[in-house]
């Protein structure tokens, strides 16, 4: 029997480039029992799939490779404190000592008879600063892998062999300094993720056995009651059992405006109670909260690489061996043909340093993770570099109507009983209208569809409390079929109800058309045939939905952002769809679409436009279209795992205003990536020209490589800064967290 595979997550300290991540990946992959390893240097996250306990061996393998690993669980608890500060670690100390020794060597070389002391100081600088890369080089060579540590070690050993001790010391110091600065710079992207982690308090106050007990958040169990004091953060996802408060949900939705919530309302971990005391029943444990899912998604988004990143990685895999081979030829061939050894060996060592494509490889992931981290602070989840790149190329936007352009809170405006409803045996007492609403509401009690919820709400408003159906079946995009009061009832579109009940739709077509002409959505209700009971029409229910405030402004902003075509896709009738489209400024409407029809419409748009189609939807009905579009955007998905899984981009709040922002951010990110790639290649080209002219020293080669890497990292980190007007922050918890007194039995 196959053994169960477990996935463990680790935070790896000291990763500064893709070579580092690859070295760690290879080292951990060699551990017995490990099936798969993924390492992202941009986030410092490692995921290990294994079929037996391997924690100690994984940590030891990472340590042998020259790095440090720490197991993290849930929302990354071990990483909350960010680990050791980069300027306090052993790398910083080694860099400082190496620099001081190198400087001492240069000072001694200026003194008469000081050359032996200078060589000694330079040699010591090489040993102190080069010990770490030498250990990494040995690990890489054992893995049959050439990385920057191998190239650096060979260059420094070669420099010492030809007596260029000062050059070797300068190279070691500059390389170590560059690695240190890169670690500090890349830490900026990781800080944006740790900001999300720190939004959840480390402890929760839990009511146990009539007493309030502080416990670690990770130990809160589903169903336990948690207390949230005024100004405090909600520790877990839950449902309010007592109390009312204005909750700031910016960590989840990106919207800083407080939302009033009371008993029965759901709350999310990391949100802030601005002014009220709450008792919350936990619905999800710490590692499964909405905020935890956001953090995991942001951390793991780098695994979904953009096409440009895949191209760069493929290029780097070919570039490095090719340049290493060229360096060997430069160092060996001219001397074999009679040229002096020393200058050509020197040039070969310089070319060896240029073989590292660090700046090129790091140019994309830092920009991608910075953009994803920035968007997450807005409440926009972009699930990886591939989706970010696709978002930057969007030229066509297709939108669902109900719940997207409208509020998704339709209200019943008309209930039109047909003759047969008055003759129903066992139907609800009262007027025919009440009977129709009671049956339709009972059939749709379990439904999550906005129309179904509206019918139930209308029945309750009339004092008709519907009972749950005896059986219930959903037909996405069409309607429901249920057994109510001993009858099989169907509620849905006119065509669906007619097909299910075997009825002639023309009997209800005239009143349905009259209602639809007013821009209303019509739901048909029919009874299916049963022994002694023929199938019959029961009536029609008309509903109207309110257009989302700001929908028209959103359409204008999308056009201003370069979207050249905007299409509405809906399962609704044409009059209702046209009413909404005209109000918001959309010219192209496709109506009466089932989920498969929406997917085919997206396929047609993709074919017409050659790709670049974005689809925005809010429900399970939209899943096929979300999956088929170049970019699927799910909105209002806070707490909805299905929407998060299907779409490439998720708007956690119920606000489309973030969509133009996301398009702008994606295009800026692609621009930064292009700048970084062009700059990296230009620096390499300039260095090669200097090398050909015999003017490239070893220290200048490493300075060019390190300098280019730092420039592209800094350029990518610019995406962490929000453009003017885009910043939204959750407030810090208030200092005064005194709760009202509470008496317990």
Instruction: List CB contacts of 545: < 8 A, sequence separation 6 or more.
Output: 401, 402, 406, 407, 408, 409, 410, 411, 450, 521, 580
* H/E element, 515: helix 506-516
Q: What is the largest CA-CA distance in the chain?
A: 118
d(CA 591, CA 576): 9
Residue count of the chain? 745
Instruction: Give CA separation, 338 vs 319, 344, 348, 692, in Å.
Output: 29, 11, 16, 19
Closest-CA residue to 481 (of 511, 450, 442)? 442
Instruction: Give CA separation, 178 vs 147, 164, 676, 682, in Å.
Output: 16, 21, 17, 19
d(CA 205, CA 212): 6
d(CA 235, CA 226): 8
87: left (phi > 0), else alpha (psi -120 to 50), else beta?
Answer: alpha
Helix axes 698-717, 341-354, angle to 10 degrees: 10
d(CA 214, CA 515): 58
Instruction: List CB contacts of 163: < 8 A, sequence separation 6 or more.
Output: none
Neighbours of 309 (CB within 10 A): 22
Q: Supply the residues annotated as catalytic.
A: 400
299: left (phi > 0), else alpha (psi -120 to 50), else beta?
Answer: alpha
Q: What is the DSSP letter of 149?
A: H
Torsion of CA 495, 501, 502, 505, to 10 degrees: -40
Q: Name the β-bridge partners of 381.
A: 650
Name the strands in the sheet holding 259-261, side by side, starting at the edge strand that comes first in the sequence. 259-261, 245-248, 272-273
């Amino acid at each position: 029997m196959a053994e169960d595979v477990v996935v463990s997550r680790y935070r790896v300290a000291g990763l500064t480039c893709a070579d580092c991540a690859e070295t760690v990946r290879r080292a951990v992959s060699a551990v017995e029992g490990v099936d798969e390893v993924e390492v992202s240097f941009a986030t410092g996250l490692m995921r290990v799939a294994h079929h037996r306990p391997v924690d100690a061996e994984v940590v030891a393998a990472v340590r042998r490779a020259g790095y440090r690993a720490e197991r993290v669980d849930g929302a990354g608890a071990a990483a909350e404190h960010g680990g050791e500060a980069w300027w306090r670690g052993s790398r910083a100390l080694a860099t400082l000592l190496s620099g001081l020794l190198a400087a001492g060597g240069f000072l001694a070389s200026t003194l008469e008879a000081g050359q032996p002391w200078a060589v000694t100081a330079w040699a010591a600088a090489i040993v102190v600063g080069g010990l770490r890369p030498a250990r990494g080089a040995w690990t890489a060579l054992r893995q049959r892998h050439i990385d920057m540590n191998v190239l650096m070690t060979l260059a420094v050993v070669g420099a010492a062999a030809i007596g260029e001790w000062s050059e070797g010391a300068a190279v070691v110091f500059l390389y170590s300094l560059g690695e240190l600065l890169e670690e500090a710079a890349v830490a900026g992207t990781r800080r944006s993720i740790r900001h999300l982690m720190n939004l959840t308090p480390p402890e929760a106050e839990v009511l146990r056995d009539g007493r309030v007990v502080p416990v670690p958040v990770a130990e809160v169990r589903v169903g336990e009651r948690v207390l949230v004091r005024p100004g405090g953060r909600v520790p877990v996802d839950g449902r309010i059992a007592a109390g009312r408060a204005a909750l700031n949900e910016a960590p989840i939705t990106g919207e800083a405006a407080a939302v009033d919530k009371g008993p029965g309302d759901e709350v999310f971990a990391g949100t802030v109670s601005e002014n009220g005391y709450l008792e919350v029943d936990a619905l999800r444990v710490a590692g499964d909260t909405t905020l935890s899912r956001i953090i995991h998604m942001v951390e793991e988004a780098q695994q979904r690489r953009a096409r440009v990143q895949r191209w760069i990685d493929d290029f780097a895999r070919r570039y490095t061996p090719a340049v290493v081979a060229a360096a060997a030829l430069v160092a060996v061939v001219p001397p074999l043909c009679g040229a002096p050894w020393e200058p050509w060996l020197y040039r070969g060592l310089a070319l060896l340093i240029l073989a590292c494509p660090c700046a090129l490889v790091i140019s994309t992931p830092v920009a991608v993770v910075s953009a994803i981290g920035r968007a997450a602070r807005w409440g926009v989840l972009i699930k990886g570099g591939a989706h970010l790149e696709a978002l930057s190329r969007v030229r066509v936007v297709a939108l669902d109507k109900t719940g997207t352009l409208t509020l998704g809170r339709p209200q019943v405006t008309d209930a039109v009983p047909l003759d047969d409803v008055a003759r129903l045996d066992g139907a609800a007492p009262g007027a025919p209208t009440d009977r129709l609403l009671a049956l339709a509401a009972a059939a749709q009690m379990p439904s999550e569809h906005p129309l179904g919820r509206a019918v139930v709400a209308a029945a309750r408003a009339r004092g008709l409390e519907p009972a749950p159906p005896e059986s219930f079946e959903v037909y996405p995009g069409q309607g429901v079929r249920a057994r109510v009061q001993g009858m099989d009832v169907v509620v849905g579109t006119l065509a669906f109800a007619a097909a299910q009940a075997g009825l002639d739709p023309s009997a209800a077509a005239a009143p349905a058309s009259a209602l639809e002409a007013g821009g209303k959505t019509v739901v048909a209700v029919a009874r299916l045939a049963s022994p002694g009971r023929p199938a019959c029409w029961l009536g029609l229910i008309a509903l109207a939905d309110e257009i989302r405030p700001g929908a028209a402004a959103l359409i204008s902003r999308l056009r201003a952002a370069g979207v050249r075509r905007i299409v509405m896709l809906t399962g609704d009738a044409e009059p209702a769809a046209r009413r909404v489209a005209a109000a918001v400024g959309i010219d192209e409407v496709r109506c009466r679409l089932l989920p498969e029809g929406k997917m085919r419409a997206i396929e047609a748009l993709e074919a017409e436009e050659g790709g670049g189609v974005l689809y925005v939807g809010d429900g399970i009905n939209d899943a096929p279209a979300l999956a088929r579009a170049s970019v699927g955007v799910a909105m209002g998905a806070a707490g909805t795992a299905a929407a998060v899984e299907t779409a490439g981009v998720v708007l956690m709040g119920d606000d489309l205003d973030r969509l133009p922002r996301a398009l702008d951010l994606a295009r800026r990110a692609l621009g930064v990536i292009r700048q970084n790639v062009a700059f990296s290649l230009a620096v390499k080209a300039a260095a090669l020209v200097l090398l050909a002219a015999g003017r490239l020293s070893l220290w200048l080669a490493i300075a060019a490589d390190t300098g280019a890497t730092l420039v592209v990292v800094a350029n990518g980190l610019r995406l962490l800064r929000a453009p003017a007007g885009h910043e939204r922050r959750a407030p810090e918890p208030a200092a005064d967290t005194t709760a009202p007194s509470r008496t317990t039995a």
